[in-house]
Amino acid sequence: MIFDAHCDVLYRLQNEKDLHFSKSGPLHVTYQELKNAGAKVQCFAIFLSPSLPPSRRFEAALEQVDLFYERIVKPHADIQVITSKRDIQNLKEHEIGVVLTLEGCEAIQEDLMKLRTLKRLGVCSVGLTWNYANTLADGAMESRGAGLTAFGRQVVEELNQMKIWTDVSHLSEKAFWDVLELADYPVASHSNSYSLCPHPRNLKDDQIKALIQKNSVIGLTFVPFFVKDHPKPSIADFLQHVDYVCGLGGEFHLGFGSDFDGIDETIPGLDSFQGYLQLAELLDKHYSASQVENFLYHNFVRYFPD
Ligand SMILES: [Zn+2]
């Protein structure tokens, strides 16, 4: 069983009209691939192009919500929408759970009504920013590196009340620490270790330790340039991040957030969802069966807000 905390299928379906989730094809994550590789829970992010004018953003987010229900959920009787841990526990053996998440709050502008509406439509995890600054905080690639704004704080408090995840994966370091102080349910859906690969999107050791302390989970990600500062990283390089986070005490706090369909380049062997089969095989060589099950599935489920 696999829990994958991040993919960008909805963005691709919105922007490339000839793509289909139901058919095998160019998407990294398709219905068939999820079935073949033993997926149990897949998160689908709402992600908006940064070039979209502000007046179009909320509607574009709603379009992706519609794609989630029309193209992922409706055509497949064995796909169930997840909005709580109980929903995951209630999945039948042949069923796959799908989770709607929000990658960056650009869509809500400065309007908590829009946030609450997206939650009511099924969003279970909210990243405050993408890479750059918005009305909530600075993202990881924003050179100013500021923390949460007053509105950003309001959003985190709202997420606490709604009992859903606050995703720290794209935040600036300062905003990360502001969130860790405030958030009841922090999560890092797709980030790796900065010590192994010094990219601003990755997490430093003290950040990883703080997430572990807060009962959080870190979804290690297959993005090649977050794995190694090298043109062609390998699966072995990726496994180093698993080792490293375990070494920091994260055995029960690491999972995977592939970023499939959000990346143009992939690690050889991890080039589509089927890559999980090879990853699981390699993990089996280095870890016990129960450890591998925890990494692939149980760690994320354990800390999914109730
Ligand atoms: Zn991302």
pLDDT at 91 over 90: yes
CA of 203 to the centre of ligand 1 (A): 14
Cβ contacts of 121 within 8 Å, gap of 6 or more: 62, 65, 100
* pLDDT, mean over the chain: 97
CB-based contacts of 87, cutoff 8 Å, min separation 6? 80, 81, 97
188 Cα: distance to centroid of ligand 1 (angstroms): 10
Q: What is the CA(92)–ligand 1 centre distance, in A?
A: 30
244 — pLDDT class (breaks 50, 70, 90): very high
pLDDT 10s digits, 37-62: 999 999 999 999 999 999 999 999 99
pLDDT of residue 82: 98
Q: How far is the CA of 259 from the centre of ligand 1 (A)?
A: 7
Output the CA 191–ligand 1 centroid distance in Å: 9
Average pLDDT over residues 191-211: 98
Q: How far is CA 92 from CA 70, 84, 122, in A?
A: 22, 15, 20
Q: What is the mean pLDDT of residues 66-90?
A: 98
pLDDT at 55: 95
Provide the pLDDT for residue 174.
Answer: 98
Using DSSP, state whether 27 is helix, strand or coil: coil
C-alpha 258 to ligand 1 mean position (Å): 10
- What six digits make up the tokens of 38? 């033993």
- Paired strand residues for 139: 171
Instruction: State the Cα–Cα distance between residues 177 and 168, nearest whole angstrom.
Output: 9
Predicted TM-score of the model (pTM): 0.97
CA of 103 to the centre of ligand 1 (A): 7
Q: Does residue 254 have a pLDDT over 90?
A: yes
pLDDT of residue 122: 98
Backbone angles phi, psi at 104, to 5 degrees: 95, 135
75: confidence class by pLDDT, cuts 50, 70, 90: very high
